[in-house]
Structure 1
Amino acid sequence: MTSQEDVVLRSERATAFVASRWWPNNVGHVLVVPNAHHENLYDLPVADGHAVHDAVREIAIAIRSTYGCEGVSTRQHNEPAGYQDAWHHHVHVFPRYPGDNLYNTRHLPTPATRAERGPYADRLRSYFERS
């Protein structure tokens, strides 16, 4: 579902892109992944972990600056008991709004289309181009 047009930030070790799975009140959230494959936090090398964290911070600032939200939340899951369902380390960065009920809702049943994701990716890329 993700395409190159969804990528908003890339470094030697990490990539951030607008996710296709959205929550009802938190659309346009971003995933940050290491460029090399690491299944979860347990086998993530320190250098890749730092790169992911640095990108998460930059994305959080960009989302806060461009989405009109009042905050951000991050999530990272490990193993089935920890709700991991994609077997590549990733961190979610969600825009947050008062009363958005993020933690009591499920993701939408159908993925966001490229046309729906595009405006969010454009905002974030524009932010980084200005920075």
Structure 2
Amino acid sequence: MHDGVRAIARAIRDTYGCEGISTRQHNEPAGCQDTWHYHVHVFPRYRGDDLYGSHPYPGFVSAERRRPYADKLRTHLRHPGE
């Protein structure tokens, strides 16, 4: 699992030129998880981004709007260094 997190973190850094990466993992209802499963959030970080003070995006973001970001990461993972 953590090898995958590292690969995704590097892909995010290389693809988006961020200055750092933060990871988070939550469990149980008090951690906003209704059904127990293991997952890790991987966030690109930029100086002054105020990640922990920011507010969630209002509403659900559709797959169509998320797809270009996933495609860029997928391309990097398949062809690192290109």
Verify same fold: TM over 0.5: yes
CA deviation string 1:91-129 (max 9, x = no partner): 000011111111112311212122221111111111011
Residue of structure 1 equivalent to 2:55: 106
- Structure 2: any 5+ residue segments left out of the alignment? none
What TM-score, normalized by structure 1, do the two folds share? 0.55
Q: How does 1:54-73 map to 2 (within 5 A)?
A: 54-73=3-22
CA deviation string 1:29-69 (max 9, x = no partner): xxxxxxxxxxxxxxxxxxxxxxx111101000000000121
Q: State the one-letter code of the partner of 2:56.
A: H
Q: State the one-letter code of the partner of 1:93.
A: V
Comparing both structures, which one devotes a greater share of its residues to strand? 1
Residue of structure 2 equivalent to 1:84: 32
Runs of 4+ in structure 1 off by over 4 angstroms are none
For structure 1, which segment, 106-115 or 67-76, has the greater mean C-alpha deviation from structure 2 after superposition? Answer: 106-115
- Structure 1: any 5+ residue segments left out of the alignment? 1-51
Q: State the one-letter code of the partner of 1:117.
A: R
1:130 aligns with 2:79: yes
Structure 2: distance between partners of 1:92 and 1:68: 18
What TM-score, normalized by structure 2, do the two folds share? 0.83
Comparing both structures, which one devotes a greater share of its residues to helix? 2
Structure 1: distance between partners of 2:60 and 2:16: 20
Q: Percent identity?
A: 57
Give yes or no for contact 2:28–2:34 (8 Å, CA) kept in 1. Answer: no
Aligned length, in residue pairs: 79
